[in-house]
Structure 1
Amino acid sequence: MTTRQPVTRPATQTPTPVTDPPSLVGQQLPVVQTSPVTGRARWHRRISALPLAYLAGIVVVGCIHPFLPTWRWLLIHLLLLGAVTNAIVVWSAHFTAAVLRVPAPANRRAETLRLVLLNIGIVVVLTGGGLDIPWVGMAGATVVFVAVTAHLAWLTARLRAALPTRLAITVRYYLAASAALLIGIPVGAWMMGVDDDFRPHLLLFHAHVNLLGWVTLTVLGTLLTLWPTVLRTRMADNAVRAASKALPFALAGLALLGTGLLTWWRPVAFVGLALFATGAVIALRPALTVAQGKQPASFAAWSIASASGWLLVALAIDTGTLLFSPGPAEAMENFSDVLVPLLVGFTAQILIGALAYLMPVVLGGGPSKVRPRNAILDRNWPQRVAMGNAALIVFMLPVPPYVRITTSLLVLVALLQFLVPAIRVLLTARR
């Protein structure tokens, strides 16, 4: 059991009281703090609009998709490249500074430049892909690659400069995730200009490296500290040890999976996916232990818990797809059965759940402001969580087209039930 060390701040800054309950102090979880209206709160008010804007774009494309020939591609990339990538870049920097106890920067110019560069690249990629202009998409992918490289360099520098801490394993997950994205981006750019027999190999590789590497590794590293904080309870005693043990499994599995998909050597791909799934289970087991002691009781908590379950479901379906697809073309066609739970059930739901918890806290104003924001985002949460997940389950069953259309609309409604109050919270905080 260790004690929290006092943090020395410049005299010009307003002290930021830690809101973790006493049970968290001994576990060193200074991850999310409430504060008066400080520079950090103003920063988060500005950049919180980024993922919300891309989520709003998903709603727009969902409503007008009959008029868009590339609507599926746009929906996927608005979520993954737009909303999720912005959230990961912003919050991985936030959690890195928290777990390494890095002093707040004097200004946010470098981080702002990275985010501006990232979003210029994202908009260009979406434009090129949406209008089917390959060279535009490739140019945008290059800009995104530069921005993520700068983010990776920042994470590496922070880790090297920090004093040793057992929670540094979180940052190592972020480093591995960023490296995976830097491998996946060029493959995605290449696919924009390639349409031959090798394309299924590239698509499968690109999807797995980005979804399992960039997204899932980031989530597993973040849940180490975020999950007990959301539940306002203690971290499991073996959580750090489990995270450290899980990362080599996940990385070895991802390497074998990528190699097997590119060469279509199914035994190698299967072993790789099995190793990755093993790593995910090892990393998530302490979260289950924590939830057994303190059950989820909020929209954020149940969204994160549901998303974790969908991750395991998606990995199981993915395993079946690899085993029973005779070739890469068939595997690419069957991969849509994996994308639905992996994108909607896991990725979108984990993003919304994390934002529902983090946004009210970091927008500033102290507990008197945080509680009303939580109440707004938690309104009707049992109905929202149940409706979204039930609709997704029905969608995955062999049902008629009109049932799938109905369930798709219900999932879209569940997204709106988060998006509208989230924008309200953001606008209220700005005022």
Structure 2
Amino acid sequence: MKQLGLSAVLCFLLALVLGASALLIPVAALHLVFAVGILPLIFGAMLHFVPVLTRSTAPHPGIAALPFIALLVGIPVVLAIQGILPRSALHAAATVDLAIAAILIAWMVRRARRTLGAPHPGWRWYAASLSLLVLALLAVPPLAAGVSPLAFRLFHLHANTLGFVGLAALGTLPVLLPTALGKPDPQAAPWLRRRLFVAVAGVLFVSLGAALWWPLTLVGGSFLAVLSLGLLAHWWRAFTPGVLFADGASTSLAAALAGYGALLLAGALHGARLAVADGMVLGFGAAFLLPLVSGALSQLLPVWRFPGPISPARQEMRRCLVRFGRLRAFLFPLAGAACIVDYIPVALLLAAAGLLLFAVDLVSALAIALRVPPPAR
């Protein structure tokens, strides 16, 4: 799975360079991040966490290969949007990704049913996330055919960002952040169990409202904002700021959640016609995705490279990855804020600075990964 993490970082860098230089049109650059980078990475993260949540074995090699198939499928999506391939490639790619999502949902349900005792509720968030991805992909054929393009585009956008990506993140963060801190959170499972219905309802309200009737977005956005900011407040109380912001990984994850909440508030202003939305998607990438991915990879890459018991090599690799984590957690949300107020050049510079800092940490960590062999299985 570490290859998916590195691929996602590379996609961010390529999208930033190719988009800023106008070698890719903005929509193609965004799909380079989402379709080639983020979607396969989320699939891979699900395959990592679901066996833990259901107390089961590692996935079958055929299942484990699905994120890599999704990565390959994402490339023609970018080329089709750029105009290099025919638009029919979008239909084929959406069909393959939809099939992968359906297979993963069935795999998760089967794992959950076979769990000895009750499975951790986090797996339901992943199933819900994939279900929203299916809905987003079902909008691709009419969107590509030009049928109500604005409505389907807005539904596809929100079901993907807040639905697929957002639910996967909200289902992971209550478990991942305490793990990064090395401190258990007894409230994580109850929070996940109680909040799923509200989160799914919020995403559906926002997605349908954006496509059909904007006041619904205010209802859904308020649901999601209360959830995300409430979780952040819980972390503040449970771990205290001194602990929460002492570690580069946890600081980045907390910054991602704060950025998510801030973007929802900005989206509400846009829905009420009080703000423009030109930079909202870029803001989502800068304020939420970048700190989320960099923080998650800071915690997960050492585990993926050196599985099993904690080892000195894993700890050293993690120290490298979190070195500039707190600085990145400042730069990325600042870039997101610049996007929201339409200072795009400033936002790109701030995001590039944060990405370069992570790249420096990543190179140092990879040097350790290459120098020290993984443990024997």
* TM-score normalized with structure 1 length: 0.77
CA contact (8 A) 2:253 2:292 kept: yes
Distance in 2 of aligned mates of 1:259 and 1:428: 51
Shift, 1:339, TM fit = 1.8
Residue 416 of structure 1 pairs with residue 359 of structure 2: yes
CA contact (8 A) 2:24 2:82 kept: yes
Distance 1:49-1:429 versus aligned 2 partners, 3 A rule: farther
The residue number in structure 2 matching 1:13 is: none
Shift, 1:346, TM fit = 0.6
The residue number in structure 1 matching 2:297 is: 355
Shift, 1:388, TM fit = 3.8
CA contact (8 A) 1:173 1:247 kept: yes
The residue number in structure 1 matching 2:157 is: 207
Residue 305 of structure 1 pairs with residue 254 of structure 2: yes
1:106-185, aligned counterparts within 5 Å?
108-131=60-83, 133-165=86-118, 168-185=120-137
What is the SS of the residue equivalent to 1:324?
A: coil
User: CA deviation digits over 1:115-162, x for unaligned, max 9?
Assistant: 343223222222222335211122122111111211111111111111
Distance 1:152-1:305 versus aligned 2 partners, 3 A rule: same
Partner amino acid, structure 1, of 2:356: V
* TM-score normalized with structure 2 length: 0.87
Give the one of 81, 87, 90 matched to 2:44: 90
Query: Relative contact order, CA 8 A, sep 6+: which one is greater?
Result: 1
1:192-341, aligned counterparts within 5 Å?
192-194=144-146, 198-235=148-185, 237-263=186-212, 265-292=213-240, 294-324=243-273, 334-341=276-283
State the percentage of identical aligned residues: 21
Distance in 1 of aligned mates of 2:196 and 2:189: 11
The residue number in structure 2 matching 1:407 is: 350
Partner amino acid, structure 2, of 1:176: A
Partner amino acid, structure 1, of 2:317: R
The residue number in structure 2 matching 1:44 is: none
Distance in 1 of aligned mates of 2:125 and 2:286: 23
Distance in 2 of aligned mates of 1:343 and 1:85: 13
Distance in 2 of aligned mates of 1:404 and 1:379: 22
User: CA deviation digits over 1:290-344, x for unaligned, max 9?
Assistant: 331733322211110111110010000011111117xxxxx9xx33332233221
Shift, 1:61, TM fit = 3.8
Distance 1:215-1:426 versus aligned 2 partners, 3 A rule: farther
Shift, 1:354, TM fit = 0.5
- Cα RMSD (Å) of the superposition? 2.7
CA contact (8 A) 1:51 1:82 kept: no
CA contact (8 A) 1:245 1:282 kept: no
CA contact (8 A) 1:395 1:407 kept: no
The residue number in structure 2 matching 1:328 is: none
CA contact (8 A) 2:40 2:68 kept: no
Distance 1:100-1:199 versus aligned 2 partners, 3 A rule: same
The residue number in structure 1 matching 2:142 is: 190
Q: Which region of structure 1 is more displaced relative to structure 2, 53-62 or 168-177? A: 53-62
The residue number in structure 2 matching 1:386 is: 330
Bigger Rg over Cα: 1
Distance 1:199-1:335 versus aligned 2 partners, 3 A rule: farther
Residue 367 of structure 1 pairs with residue 311 of structure 2: yes
Shift, 1:425, TM fit = 4.7
1:70-85, aligned counterparts within 5 Å?
70-85=24-39
Distance in 2 of aligned mates of 1:96 and 1:215: 16
Shift, 1:186, TM fit = 2.4
Q: Which region of structure 1 is more displaced relative to structure 2, 123-132 or 339-348? A: 123-132
Shift, 1:220, TM fit = 1.2
What is the SS of the residue equivalent to 1:335?
A: coil
Distance in 2 of aligned mates of 1:90 and 1:404: 29
Partner amino acid, structure 1, of 2:33: L
Q: Any gaps of 5 or more consecutive residues in structure 1?
A: 1-46, 326-330
Partner amino acid, structure 2, of 1:141: A
Shift, 1:214, TM fit = 0.7
Partner amino acid, structure 2, of 1:355: L
Shift, 1:345, TM fit = 1.1
CA contact (8 A) 1:121 1:142 kept: no
Distance 1:320-1:279 versus aligned 2 partners, 3 A rule: same
CA contact (8 A) 1:360 1:373 kept: yes
The residue number in structure 1 matching 2:53 is: 99
Residue 63 of structure 1 pairs with residue 17 of structure 2: yes
Distance in 2 of aligned mates of 1:216 and 1:408: 20
Q: Which region of structure 1 is more displaced relative to structure 2, 120-129 or 167-176? A: 120-129
Shift, 1:398, TM fit = 5.8
State the number of aligned residues.
Answer: 370
Distance in 1 of aligned mates of 2:360 and 2:255: 17
CA contact (8 A) 2:29 2:78 kept: no
User: CA deviation digits over 1:348-376, x for unaligned, max 9?
Assistant: 21111011111112312741211211222
